[in-house]
Chains A and B, each alone.
Chain A
């Protein structure tokens, strides 16, 4: 059912904001272009949070479906489309992971090798890859500047959906310590990113 390459050639040069606007007006092909651009980013992010491919794929679908439904609510003045889409993804994934945490789990260990078993879809990924690669490098380097405990506090919060109290309990640390680590770490992260030229979206 995927359209042949070149089917959306009239749309691929449009900005994210234009595309989501068209999608909000009912143009599914516009969403398709956005999907081709960002499905991997969304998927990778969801997978990092939930740790399960099947679930991550469901979340990927749900995130784009919601973007489709709520496209009219997106305001480019408030930030980029990617940021908006990824925040939808984050909310969905964290909800899921918190739900899972409350229920006893079946064993479903993730095979790391399986993460790399698919081939790229089409050539227009190359351009996206350059921008994405720069973005990944930027945040990776910035995070490396944080002392490990601060980095850990931020990652546990953002990717595991744990509250400060839950992090404190998990690590056996006082709540105040975790609060300080998170605050200082975030401050440092912000400073490290301030000089960067790359922007999200």
Chain B
């Protein structure tokens, strides 16, 4: 393939380095460019391509060109007209988001000593995944902490709002929602409360861009349809987990483990309601960043059929949800790429 365009341009040294950093067999991602921009690669290969183009300007250019081509495709769709209500709702939502953003912060959030109560009852296992998933393109130099992708403007209280009160706030919201949860019997109400909780959480996250980690949770083999998020400050010993589309267990709650030093350590439980949603707050011995991963499993490690060592050896074999904590700075620098 000596007349391969990339090889011609790259030259020998670059070409071998190119090969070393490429997800494809012969070192070029040319064959992957079209399916990549069309979204037709599986997740692992997609990540491989993104990793490669992050430091390969040659292939980055191929991808940019291919994106130009793909940018015409949406116009194949038959023209259709949305109702005017959508516009009304959109701008009402924007107005509300602006009001929330500009409102003074409640004073209890500013007090690190806010009583937390016992977070143990609902802790969940979530395997914390690569937090730089395909669409979560966040990175900030490590010493500044991580930034939620949702916010592009500096919040009014950024200078004074530290991560601890935020985690407290999330925990408070989590606790509040869980206590409400216990009181609601109507499934419909539960869904609404949980949705409201998600929105509150999302708004809180959106308003506080400082040192805050947001991880995507991926359904494992035991629950491929499930998803969730984990909000944590890696320097604080608390994490709040939210899951959805997780099947309810009938006998016992899901178990949360963190992986440390090759072992799975239980840190709490997750209860899921009839709509498949659940929230958990877990307390750790130290920051989240020290753990390699968090796992949610339907089985307990105290059951006779499994033990912590076996689970680690097959970490994804019976995971309901998982994600790996990546303490390195993500190498996604492009927040606008399709």
Contact = CB atoms under 8 A, between A and B. Distances in A.
B40 A65 contact: no
B118 interface: no
Given A44-B80, A135-B72, A139-B73, A164 B335 contact: no
Contacts of A154: 38, 73
Given A57-B86, A69-B206, A118-B83, A28 B78 contact: no
B319 to A, nearest CB: 16
B105 interface: no
A188 B34 CA distance: 11
A163 B68 CA distance: 20
A41 B105 CA distance: 39
A142 B81 contact: no
Nearest to A183: B34
B86 A61 contact: yes
A48 B77 contact: yes
A183 B34 CA distance: 6
Nearest to B93: A65
B71 A86 contact: yes
Interface in B46-105: 65-95, 98
Contacts of A61: 86, 89-90, 93
A69 B35 contact: no
A32 interface: yes
Nearest to B65: A190
A21 B86 CA distance: 23
B150 interface: yes
Nearest to B134: A91
A26 to B, nearest CB: 7
Contacts of A89: 74
B259 to A, nearest CB: 26
B74 A157 contact: no
B327 to A, nearest CB: 24
Nearest to B154: A72
A80 B72 CA distance: 12
B76 A140 contact: yes
Contacts of B82: 39-40, 43, 53, 56-57, 60, 118
B115 interface: no
Q: How large is the interface on A (under 10, 10 to 19, 20 to 34, 35 or more residues)?
A: 35 or more
Interface string B320-338: 0000000000000011111
A193 interface: yes
B41 A193 contact: no
Contacts of A167: 40
Interface in A131-162: 132, 135-136, 138-140, 142-143, 154-155, 157-159, 161-162
Nearest to A139: B72
Contact of B87 (A2, A41, A136): A2
Given A28-B95, A35-B87, A158 B77 contact: no
B153 interface: yes
Contact of B225 (A43, A102, A179): A102
B208 to A, nearest CB: 14
A182 interface: yes
Contacts of A132: 75, 79
A1 B88 contact: yes
B152 A157 contact: no
B336 A78 contact: yes
A39 B82 CA distance: 8
B86 A39 contact: yes
A41 B38 contact: no
A135 B71 CA distance: 11
B75 A41 contact: yes
A186 B76 contact: no
Contacts of A84: 336, 338
A88 B35 CA distance: 18
A48 B34 contact: no
B42 interface: yes
A84 B40 CA distance: 19
A71 B95 contact: no
Contact of B35 (A43, A70, A91, A157): A157
Contacts of B42: 163, 165
Given A35-B90, A69-B206, A182-B38, A158 B66 contact: no
Contacts of A135: 72, 75
Contacts of B336: 70, 73-75, 78-79, 84
A94 interface: yes
A83 to B, nearest CB: 4
Interface in A31-74: 31-32, 35, 39-41, 43-45, 47-48, 53, 56-57, 60-61, 64-65, 68-74
B152 A136 contact: no
The 4 closest A-B pairs by CB, nearest first: A87-B338, A72-B152, A48-B77, A157-B40
9 contacts: A1-B91, A35-B87, A40-B82, A57-B85, A73-B152, A86-B338, A157-B38, A164-B40, A185-B34
